[in-house]
Structure 1
């Protein structure tokens, strides 16, 4: 049976922390694939009207290009609406019943699991894998396989701020993502020519 991890998020923008999480979980759970799945509308965050969902998907594709076992999924973007994990995982399991799915979440999400849509049913459907994140307790009463990974205190919020202030983002996001952001003039960078 194929083992697939789902790593959802806004990816606004994707950064090296996302790649570290995916790689650590892939190896810890012997996953065949980790799918990076940008959401259409996040249930826990306000939507960013400055960056389109298509741009976020393209940034994910650029971030993972050439990395074996990493793929990008447009499933939630194509479906549209609010992206609830229960709905997504139910649909994926119906489409691919021969796949064992692992839902990968960060420490901030572990702490808020009690607020998730249909969480009691979700934990019966899939294995939830949690990874620590600086500044979060990463504790829950729900069944979550929590693994320790090298923690790096980086967030998409930090990256957006760095881009806006013309600060350095070297080593924080893949070079192809940085180039795309500057070419598209995202996060207040303005159009950029090398």
Structure 2
């Protein structure tokens, strides 16, 4: 059976924390691949102003291009409206019944799990994999496999703020992403 990790998020922009966590989980669980899945409209966040879905996808592509086990999963971008993990994973399981899916979440989302749409059914579709993300905890009653990964206190909002303030983001994102942001004047306003 194929073992596939799914790392969902807004990736606005993708940063080194995303690829480090993905690589740690890929190795720890001996997965066949990790799919980075940008969401259309997460139900727990307001849509950020500024970059297009195309920009987010291109930055993700640039972030993962050097690892053949990292791929893009665009199923949520192809579905209009809010992205609910239950429906996404239901579609992926129908399409790939012989694949075991490992849904990767940070501690911030572990705390939020009780509010996820149809969470009790979702845990039957995927194996949740959690990683620590300061300052959140990993305490939960849901079945989550915790993976020890380097703790990196970094978020896309920190990067957006730095760009807006004219501060360097070198080493926080892939060099190609830094270049893409600069060339396309993303996050400057």
Q: TM-score, with normalisation over the residues of structure 2?
A: 0.97
Q: How does 1:86-125 map to 2 (within 5 A)?
A: 86-125=86-125
Q: Does 1:19 align with 2:19?
A: yes
Query: In the alignment, which residue of structure 1 is the partner of 2:180?
Result: 180
Distance 1:52 1:59 in 2: 11
- In the alignment, which residue of structure 1 is the partner of 2:82? 82
Counterparts of 1:179 and 1:74, CA distance in 2? 23
Runs of 4+ off more than 6 Å = none
Deviation at 1:80, TM superposition (A): 2.2
Structure 1 residue 53 displacement after superposition = 1.2
- How many residues are matched? 189
Partner of 2:129: 129
CA positional deviation for 1:79: 1.4
Correspondence for 1:192: none
Any gaps of 5 or more consecutive residues in structure 1?
190-194
* Distance in structure 2 (CA, Å) of the matches to 1:178 and 1:92: 32
Q: Distance in 2 between matches of 1:64 and 1:30?
A: 18
SS at match of 1:178: helix
In structure 1, C-alpha distance between the alignment counterparts of 2:57 and 2:22, rounded to whole Å: 16
Alpha-carbon separation, structure 1, partners of 2:127 and 2:55: 30
Counterpart CA distance in 2 for 1:180 and 1:80 is 26
SS at match of 2:78: helix
Alpha-carbon offset, residue 71 of structure 1: 0.5
Partner of 1:163: 163
Residues 24-79 of structure 1, C-alpha deviation per residue, up to 9 Å, x if partnerless? 11111110000000000011111013111111111100110121200012111011
SS in structure 1 of the partner of residue 6 of structure 2: strand
| Alpha-carbon distance in structure 2 between the residues aligned to 1:42 and 1:54 | 17
Displacement after TM superposition at 1:120 (Å): 0.3
Distance 1:75 1:124 in 2: 20
- Partner secondary structure for residue 180 of structure 2: helix
| 5+ residue gaps, structure 2 | none
TM-score by length of 1: 0.95
Q: 3-state DSSP class of the match of 1:79? A: coil
RMSD: 0.9
